[in-house]
Amino acid sequence: MTAPLHDPRPTGPGRVSSDTQQGMRRRNLARVMHAVSAEGSLSRAAVASRIGLTRTAVSTLVDELIRAGLLEELGPERPGRVGRPGSALAVSRRGPAGIGAEIGVDHLAVCAVDLRGEVRARAERQGTNRGRSPGPVVAELSELVRDVVAEARGQGLWAAGLAVAVPGLVARDGRTVVRAPNLDWHGVDLGELLSPEPAFTVDNEANLGALAELWLGEGAPRDFLHVSAEIGIGAAVVVDGGLLRGTRGFAGELGHVPVHPDGPQCVCGGRGCLEQYAGEEAVLRAAGLAPGGDRVGLLAGRAADGDEAVRRALREAGTALGIALTGAVNLLDPESVVLGGALAGLAPWLLPSLEAELARRTAGPVCPVSVSRWGSEGPLLGAAHSVVRAVLDDPVGVGVGAG
Amino acid sequence: MTAPLHDPRPTGPGRVSSDTQQGMRRRNLARVMHAVSAEGSLSRAAVASRIGLTRTAVSTLVDELIRAGLLEELGPERPGRVGRPGSALAVSRRGPAGIGAEIGVDHLAVCAVDLRGEVRARAERQGTNRGRSPGPVVAELSELVRDVVAEARGQGLWAAGLAVAVPGLVARDGRTVVRAPNLDWHGVDLGELLSPEPAFTVDNEANLGALAELWLGEGAPRDFLHVSAEIGIGAAVVVDGGLLRGTRGFAGELGHVPVHPDGPQCVCGGRGCLEQYAGEEAVLRAAGLAPGGDRVGLLAGRAADGDEAVRRALREAGTALGIALTGAVNLLDPESVVLGGALAGLAPWLLPSLEAELARRTAGPVCPVSVSRWGSEGPLLGAAHSVVRAVLDDPVGVGVGAG
């Protein structure tokens, strides 16, 4: 916003500097990508009409995007349209792909998603990561990443970036796991362990699950609280279509909202936190089951079979969730609450008591609670799509000539 | 973002439509106002340097702002500067003023703030508004507004707008009080009761108090939770320098966060909400004092005198605040918590137990808690300044020729 006192460059209204032109070109490339991506396929004329540029300007942009392998031509359009026949454009099925990865407490997973949003390769490995040191876990994950990248390469795709979901607090640097109690990781710089290629970013699993909710499918709310679980309970706060990250990147720690302030001691130092009542281990304990293995599958199976102890444990967890969510809804006034991650699979037994508690404590209309359509796959999909969105948002960053 | 298929207007990079030029002029007028406002006084050359426009462009903008009475010339600058001597500019002490008003549970207050941020007129009336119907309350408030506007007019100021702080939930229409339990107002459209001139907006008192905190004085955080009280307890969530309002405009209802979920019944329908432990009436009850009158003054006076019952009641309120704030801090990860409104006056006796509770329940660094420098004057000042900011942000809106 500052310039030398006697700036020799022309300034004032009407001045368009080369910076601005370059920025405008970048934005227009992104607008073309988003227009085509949103529609599946679109002619140059339709792109021009949609984004309000001339056909000539659009053709230049489209040619650049085709050369960079981000758009492809589907062949001549069917006749009957006004003007000379054009070729329909689509986002390329070859070219850049987003690689998503998840370090879960009990599994590792990696997938490649192309610019159209299709999962084109996927690998996973079951087995607990709890208490394992980060080095071997990341080495295993990197092996899966290599496999998935190789499989994608066989289909003409290359890795535009890697996003890693972790069940813990991630610093705003996008690489340091500050605290992942259920892995017993504290202050782990994953940036030192991950290969520098492809470029990576690390984020909290609830955040990435929320982004999947926001981006995939129709009619997602733009202001919601996404509650997720994998042993611990996390949440992500989405405000006006973006994540509220907090000063340190730690926003959304619903699991440590006090529910019964004099309740049992929690790992966080507090007492009676939500995790003590609705975390997976608390629910297993209340149901008289041993921890370990596919806990959610076990709970869901027993509940479906009518196991009264399991159903009661889930009812009580739902009540605790309802109390914590009452506080969250009072603070944030979201459009809705979405249960994602492992909670999605348990929703049939959690929801009735959760909703009853929320209603009981709410004056006026009750905030609607829905179940994620992506469930425990959400964080992995959100991770891969965060890379895809970055490519659509700035095609110059991945290979279109910088002008 | 759409245009007709064969838009005859020139488009594409490099095109600057007259809309854009007009928008740019509006933005540049605002940048001039903010530059001068931030510095107190500034020469044309300094403005040009600061905002990166030519002196010629700035002079045109400045002349318009002087004609509209938003800027004034202070006379020739002292010699010794480079270039021909210019006249220092300042934001006008005459011209538009922001009118702030507050409907409190026990008082009404109105003030006029000029574009420099100085309070130039102020009026207030003590007396409970609890249970009074909105008509007579607004009629009394409007009388105070007329008095203050007349007093301001005598000083060469005119009312650019009115913002009204209320102790309740306000819909996003900026005029409907959806719920103000401590006034016993429900679904009151203040827009029907207020005079259409000056243009008005209604907002929650905690929101306006938070804006005062954000705008006035140096070094305010840009991500904080502002906790306020006047019988009820409200809060405002500031994220990245802006208010998080929530879907319906109801965000920040800290008073109804459950603290002891099986605690006493609350007016909101819930049980054991924060207000049941830290609201003024709860504190008075716990201290064995009768409600009514200057409650905060009474509590502060007794506490200062060493009244052990009052001190204990305030300690317990601080603990309850600490529990509710633990949840809020976990969800929002703010840079700090600011105690404002009536809570500011009680801070010496609330803070120790509040901070202890927060520390006890927090792993890692504890979110700092500070006390508002504006105290119970915050909402009124925030209201008036919200009008002033609107003038600085868009001088065209209040009288600079629209092009």
B93: three-class secondary structure by DSSP:
coil
**Which residue type, as a one-letter code, is found at position A19?**
D
Q: Does B334 touch chain A (CB under 8 A)?
A: yes
Does residue A158 register a pLDDT over 50?
yes
- Cβ contact, residue pair B360, A13, below 8 Å: no
Q: Does B80 touch chain A (CB under 8 A)?
A: no
- Cβ contact, residue pair A56, B12, below 8 Å: yes
How distant is the alpha carbon of residue B47 from its chain centre? 28
Residues of B with Cβ-Cβ distance to A318 under 8 angstroms: none
Q: Distance (Å, rounded) from C-alpha A7 to C-alpha A14?
A: 16
Beta pairing, strands B336-339 & B369-371: parallel
pLDDT digits (tens, 9 = 90+) for A233-281: 999 999 999 999 999 999 999 999 999 999 999 988 899 999 999 998 8
Does residue A186 register a pLDDT over 70?
yes
The residues, ordered by sequence, that sit 6+ positions from A340 with a Cβ below 8 Å of its Cβ are: A206, A209, A210, A213, A226, A227, A228, A371, A372, A374, A375, A378
B336: three-class secondary structure by DSSP:
strand
For B53-79, b/e burial (b = at least 16 CB within 10 A) is bbbebbbbbbebbeebbbbbeeeebee
pLDDT for residue B401: 56
Does residue A391 register a pLDDT over 70?
yes
Residues of B with Cβ-Cβ distance to A261 under 8 angstroms: 259-260, 323
More confident residue, A17 or B354: B354
Nearest Cα of chain B lies from the Cα of A353 at a distance, in angstroms, of 15
Nearest Cα of chain A lies from the Cα of B221 at a distance, in angstroms, of 10
Fold that domain B218-372 belongs to in CATH: Nucleotidyltransferase; domain 5 (3.30.420)
Angle between helices A18-39 and A55-67 (to 10 degrees): 80
Homologous superfamily (CATH) for A95-210+380-398? ATPase, nucleotide binding domain (3.30.420.40)
**Token code pair at residue A244:** 């509220």
Q: Does A38 touch chain B (CB under 8 A)?
A: no
Q: Which one of B4, B251, B332 has the shortest CB-CB distance to A251?
A: B332
Handedness of CA A296, A313, A338, B334 (dihedral sign): negative
Q: Tell me if A19-91 shares its fold with A218-372.
A: no
Q: Which one of B31, B82, B237 has the shortest CB-CB distance to A331?
A: B237
Does residue A8 register a pLDDT over 60?
no
More confident residue, A139 or B232: A139
In the structure, what pLDDT confidence band is assigned to residue A400 with cuts at 50, 70 and 90? Answer: low
Question: For B29-183, where are the E strands, in sequence order?
Answer: 41-43, 71-76, 87-91, 95-103, 107-114, 119-126, 157-166, 169-170, 176-180
pLDDT for residue A20: 74
Nearest Cα of chain B lies from the Cα of A142 at a distance, in angstroms, of 30
**Token code pair at residue B234:** 């409200």
Angle at Cα A321 formed by Cα A204 and Cα B363, nearest 5°? 50
Does residue A293 register a pLDDT over 90?
no
Chain A, 10 to 29: residues with Cβ < 8 Å from chain B are 10-14, 16, 21, 24-25, 28
Q: Does A270 touch chain B (CB under 8 A)?
A: yes
Residue-averaged pLDDT of chain A: 89
Q: Distance (Å, rounded) from C-alpha B127 to C-alpha B104?
A: 9
More confident residue, A47 or B291: A47
In the structure, what pLDDT confidence band is assigned to residue A29 with cuts at 50, 70 and 90? Answer: very high
Torsion of CA B13, B17, B19, B20, to 10 degrees: 40
Domain boundaries of chain B, sorted by first residue: 18-91, 96-210+380-398, 218-372
B221: three-class secondary structure by DSSP:
coil
Angle between helices A55-67 and A44-51 (to 10 degrees): 120
Q: Distance (Å, rounded) from C-alpha B78 to C-alpha B96?
A: 29
Question: For A92-184, where are the E strands, in sequence order?
Answer: 95-103, 107-114, 119-126, 157-166, 169-170, 176-180
In the structure, what pLDDT confidence band is assigned to residue A77 with cuts at 50, 70 and 90? Answer: low
Q: Distance (Å, rounded) from C-alpha A56 to C-alpha B19?
A: 22
- The arithmetic mean of pLDDT across residues A285-307, rounded, is 88
Q: Which of A160, A161, A180 is nearest to A170 (CA)?
A: A180
pLDDT for residue A28: 94
Q: Does A244 touch chain B (CB under 8 A)?
A: yes
Q: Please report where in the chains the tokens 């008591």 appear, as a residue.
A: A353
Beta pairing, strands A176-180 & A169-170: antiparallel
pLDDT digits (tens, 9 = 90+) for A317-365: 999 999 999 999 999 999 999 999 888 999 999 999 999 999 999 877 8
- Cβ contact, residue pair B256, A361, below 8 Å: yes
* Phi, psi of A394, rounded to the nearest 5 degrees: -150, 75
Q: Does B356 touch chain A (CB under 8 A)?
A: no
A198 upstream amide cis, omega within 30 of 0: yes
Cβ count within 10 A of residue B126 = 11
Fold that domain B96-210+380-398 belongs to in CATH: Nucleotidyltransferase; domain 5 (3.30.420)
- Cβ contact, residue pair A5, B53, below 8 Å: no
**Token code pair at residue B135:** 């008509």
**Which residue type, as a one-letter code, is found at position B340?**
G
Which class for A330: exposed (0-12), middle (13-18), buried (19 or more C-beta within 10 A)?
buried
CB B112 within 8 Å of CB B99: yes
Nearest Cα of chain A lies from the Cα of B320 at a distance, in angstroms, of 9
Torsion of CA B113, B118, B122, B124, to 10 degrees: 90
Fold that domain B18-91 belongs to in CATH: Arc Repressor Mutant, subunit A (1.10.10)
CATH number of A19-91: 1.10.10.10
**Token code pair at residue A76:** 């001549």
How distant is the alpha carbon of residue B369 from its chain centre? 19
Q: In what order do the strands lie in the sheet with B157-166?
A: B119-126, B107-114, B95-103, B157-166, B200-204
For A137-164, b/e burial (b = at least 16 CB within 10 A) is bbebbbebbeebbebbeeeebbbbbbbb
Q: Distance (Å, rounded) from C-alpha A371 to C-alpha A344?
A: 6
- Cβ contact, residue pair B82, A54, below 8 Å: no
List of chain B residues with pLDDT < 50: 1-16, 402-403
